[in-house]
Every structure is written in structure tokens, then in C-alpha cells.
Amino acid sequence: MKDIKCPSCGETFRIDPSSFEEILLQIKDEEFNKQIKERMLLAEEDNKKALEILKRELKIQLIEQKRIKENEIQTLETKLNIAEEKKTNALNDLRIQATNKINSLNNELSKLKDEIKNQALISELSIKNKVNEAVTSLEKENSSLTNSIEKMKIEQSINEKLIEEKFKSKISERDLTIQELREMKSKLSTKMVGETLEIHCETQFNLNRATAFKNSYFEKDNDVSSGSKGDYIFREFDNNIEIVSIMFEMKNESLNGNNKRKNEDFLKELDKDRNQKSCEYAVLVSLLEPESELYNSGIVDVSHRFPKMYVIRPQFFLPIISLLRNASLETLKYKSKIDLMKRENYDITNFENTLEQFKSAFGKNVSQAQDRFNDAISEIDKSITHLQKTKEALILSKKHLLSADSKSQDLTVKKLTRNNPTMNKKFNDLNNFEDEVA
């Protein structure tokens, strides 16, 4: 048994050693849990402050990186606009060159017409001179060759018919030449005789494929899964990266055709085919509207109707491919840098998302730990309540023990034998026996 002194009332009472050890351990556990709770609160505050500081630093770094990336993107966009202006200027230069070439062809055509007219006049004068010479010869021979007049008349008639047939033959040749010149003006290509427009363009491309288009794809569009198709698709690659893609549509019309079609009738369908086949540009190679000054002037930009679309004559088939390819090569490096910047921004966004996920998971773990901590505190509070009840029971037990001790101290033999004759007699006999023995 151990003596325990109450610090409040100063009273001392005894308690079993095992109960004393149990109470002592509970008190120590209470102090230890209290210290753990205080340290957990301090650690939680430190973590919150560290997270706030880290969040501010990361936010500042991200803002700075975004500002730098935005400046670089703006610079690249400026360069891209400059490249687009250069491409537009190149197209205008090509249009001017085409116009000059058309004017030169028209001048040559006029010269050929004048030469044909001169040749016809010379032939006509030569025939008249020959006729006059024959008439003069006949008049001179009329006096001496009276008997052969009829014969000469017959020969003259034959000669006139031969001369007339010869004259008609020359006129027919002249008309044929004029017709061929008209066809050349309409088609604007001497190599179009005897072949279709598609075969002409494909032949021109294949002739230059080995030298100018080594890494290019130019084939007929045979995919009709979308319901329609263009005529040819051109794609240029550099290390498996597509530089430029063009959807071509060829439209031809015979000179004797009654149903005259217009180029505008085919622009909408061409734009649809271009989008379905994922081509960047669309080009209509056309011999329609042969008398149109607009389409005969060179490369016609119809981007005001449909984006990145052009209408050309066959002689500009290879020049427009080279022009669009060179323009795309100029902008390729800027597009690559912009794609790189977009991927870097995507990586930054992923980093932010990862950080938010970490914060969310960390907060969830802290919340769960806090719940467990609150459960532990609740259990400690229950233990404290239980110890308080035990303390009250011990205090009450102490009072009963003190009362019992006080009663035991007041207990005497005299009090026990009072009103008990038998016990009085026994104690008296015991006292007498002790006296006799003594």
C-alpha cells in the first residue's frame, strides 16, 4: 500500500500499488498526448506557411515565364506577318510578269495576223498580174493565131480554175492558221493540242519531279468516301514533316461547247474537297472563260471568297506550286517555334495541374490525420473523465476509510461489553485468571 497526499485538502490516504501505477501511467500519457497535440499544431502551421511561400514563389516564376513566352510569341507572330507580306509581294510580282507575258503573246499574235493579211494581199496581186500577162499574151497572139483562139480560151479557163483553186487553198490555209492562233490564245499553251488538261498538268509535273520535287507527292484524288473528290493532291515533305499541301481541280471546255460554264461555279465544291482532304491551299486550273481579262492576267487570288484559294491558267501550274512551297518554307521555322512554345506552355499547365493535385492529396491526408487526431483527443477526454470519476470514487472511499478508522479508534472493550453481561463475565474471568497466574 502507498500513501498519497491530496494537494488540495492535504489529507493522506492509501491506495493499492497496481492502481497507483495505472493512475501514474494515465497521467503521463495525458501529458505526452498534450505535448504531441501542441507539436502537431506547430507542425501544421509550419507546413501551411511553407506551402504559402512555395505557392507564391511558383506563381511569380510562372508569371515571369508566361510573360517571356508571350513576348517571344509576339515576336514570332510579327516575323510571320512579315513573311506573309513577302509572299503577297511575290504573288503580285508574278502577276505582273504574267501580265507582261500575256501582252507579249498578244503582240506576237497581232504581228502574225498582219503577216497573214500581207501574204494574202501579195498572193492576190500576183494572181492579178498573172491574169493580166495572160490576157496581154492572148491579145498579141490573137492576130497571128486566129485558129487557136478557142483552144487558148479553153486553156485560159483551165488556168483560171487552177488559179482559183490555188487561191482558195491559200485562203483555207490562212483560216486554219487563224483558227489555230485563236485556240492558242484560248488555251494559252501550245502543248495543249491533242491532250487533256489533266494529262498536260500531270506530264509537266512528272517532267520536273526528279529535279524540283524530289520529296513531293502528286497523285490523283481517288478517295470518294466523303461523297466528292478533287482531281489531284500535291504534298511536300521535309523529314516526314508536311510543308505544304494543295488540292488541284482542272476544268476544260471545248471551243464549240454550247453550255458555257464559269470558274465561280466550281469554287465552293473545291473548298469543300480541300477541307475534307486536309489540304492547306486550293487551286483551280481552268480554261473556262477564255476571253476574261481577269483570268488571262495571271494568278488570280480568290481568298476573299474562300481562304487560300487561287485560279490560274495552265502555264502557271508549276510556278504557283513553287511559289506556295517557297512561302511555306519561309514560315515553317516560325510555325515550328510557335508549336514549341505551345508545347512548353502545355508542360507548364501540366506542372500547375500536378502541383494542384499534390496540394489536394496533401490536404486530404492532413484532413484525415486531423480527423484521427481529433478522435485521439476525444478518447483522451474520455479517459480524463473516467479518471475524474475514479478520483471522486477514491476521495469518497477515503472519507469512508477515515470514518471507519475514527470509529475503530474509539472502540474499547468497555464499549463492547456494555449492556452485555455474558461478555462482561468472560472478560472478568480472563482478568482474574491473569491475576492468578501472575
Considering the domain boundaries, does residue 122 fall inside one?
A: yes
Considering the domain boundaries, does residue 260 fall inside one?
A: yes
Considering the domain boundaries, does residue 71 fall inside one?
A: no
SS3 (DSSP) at 2:
strand
In terms of domains, do 139 and 226 share one?
Answer: no
Considering the domain boundaries, does residue 174 fall inside one?
A: yes
Give pLDDT, residue 188: 47
Q: Over the stretch 74-125, which tens digit does the pLDDT of each residue have?
A: 887 788 788 778 877 877 887 788 777 777 777 777 777 777 677 666 766 7
Set of cell numbers at residue 370: 486531423
In terms of domains, do 208 and 283 share one?
Answer: yes
Is residue 397 scored above 90 in pLDDT?
A: no
Considering the domain boundaries, does residue 343 fall inside one?
A: no
**235 lies in which domain range?**
197-312
Among the candidates 281, 312, 343, a domain finishes at: 312
Q: What is the mean pLDDT of residues 330-335?
A: 74
Segment among 59-73, 216-230, 292-306, 330-344 with least mean pLDDT: 330-344
Domains held by the chain: number:
2
Considering the domain boundaries, does residue 158 fall inside one?
A: yes
In terms of domains, do 303 and 230 share one?
Answer: yes
Give pLDDT, residue 25: 67
DSSP string, 214-246: TTEEEEE----TTS---SEEEEEEETTEEEEEE
With bands split at pLDDT 50, 70 and 90, how would you rate the model's confidence at 282?
Answer: very high
Q: Over the stretch 172-193, which tens digit does the pLDDT of each residue have?
A: 776 776 666 566 555 544 334 3
Instruction: Give 8's DSSP letter.
Output: T
In terms of domains, do 299 and 204 share one?
Answer: yes
With bands split at pLDDT 50, 70 and 90, how would you rate the model's confidence at 2?
Answer: low
Which residue bears the cell 510556278? Answer: 319
Among the candidates 312, 332, 366, a domain finishes at: 312
Which of 243, 195, 192, 251 has its CA nearest to residue 216? 243
In terms of domains, do 164 and 252 share one?
Answer: no
Q: How far apart are CA 389 and CA 396, in angstroms?
A: 10
Q: Over the stretch 416-438, which tens digit does the pLDDT of each residue have?
A: 666 777 767 776 777 776 676 65
In terms of domains, do 178 and 157 share one?
Answer: yes
3-state DSSP percent of the chain in helix, strand and coil, to 5: 75, 10, 15
Considering the domain boundaries, does residue 349 fall inside one?
A: no
Contacts of 297 (CB under 8 A, 6+ apart): 95, 98, 99, 102
pLDDT: is 36 or 415 the higher one? 36
pTM listed for this prediction: 0.38
Segment among 49-53, 56-60, 342-346, 371-375 with least mean pLDDT: 342-346
Give pLDDT, residue 321: 92
In terms of domains, do 246 and 182 share one?
Answer: no
In terms of domains, do 203 and 308 share one?
Answer: yes
- Amino acid residing at 42: L
Contacts of 189 (CB under 8 A, 6+ apart): 200, 313, 314, 315
In terms of domains, do 165 and 227 share one?
Answer: no
Among the candidates 145, 173, 190, a domain finishes at: 190
Set of cell numbers at residue 176: 486554219
In terms of domains, do 169 and 216 share one?
Answer: no
In terms of domains, do 308 and 201 share one?
Answer: yes
SS3 (DSSP) at 70:
helix
DSSP string, 165-206: HHHHHHHHHHHHHHHHHHHHHHH--GGGTTS-HHHHHHHHHH
Considering the domain boundaries, does residue 417 fall inside one?
A: no
In terms of domains, do 201 and 274 share one?
Answer: yes
Instruction: Give 289's DSSP letter.
Output: S
